[in-house]
């Protein structure tokens, strides 16, 4: 399944993409879906199987613009 780490800052989202890739997580920047209600944010898309590692990296980095996680299930995004 697909997960998104949602950010309110483009710069922090792009930094997170680099962080994930250095940690061996295949990630890319994507537009944040409307369902998140964050506005024109940018999200980091990655596979759910890496969610534990991704959460650990996010906790270490303590991004001020990190909004939360979404998971895609059945064509809809849910809080993850």
Range of the domain at 53: 2-79
Q: What does R_g of the chain's alpha carbons equal in angstroms?
A: 11
Question: How many domains are there within the chain?
Answer: 1
Instruction: Give tens-digit pLDDT for 17-69.
Output: 999 999 999 999 999 887 777 766 899 999 999 999 999 999 999 999 999 99
Look at strands 27-31 and 2-7 and give their pairing: unpaired
Q: Over range 8-22, report the average pLDDT.
A: 96
Please give the pLDDT value at position 79: 83
Please give the pLDDT value at position 76: 78
CATH of the domain at 22: 3.30.70
Q: Please say if the pLDDT value at position 77 is more than 80.
A: no
Q: pTM score, two decimals?
A: 0.90
């Amino acid at each position: 399944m697909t997960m998104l780490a949602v950010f309110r800052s483009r710069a922090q989202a792009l930094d997170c993409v680099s962080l994930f890739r250095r940690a061996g997580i295949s990630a890319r920047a994507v537009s944040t879906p409307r369902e998140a209600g964050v506005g024109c944010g940018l999200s980091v898309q990655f596979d759910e199987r890496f969610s534990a590692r991704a959460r650990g990296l996010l906790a270490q980095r303590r991004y001020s613009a990190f909004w939360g996680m979404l998971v895609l299930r059945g064509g809809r995004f849910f809080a993850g």
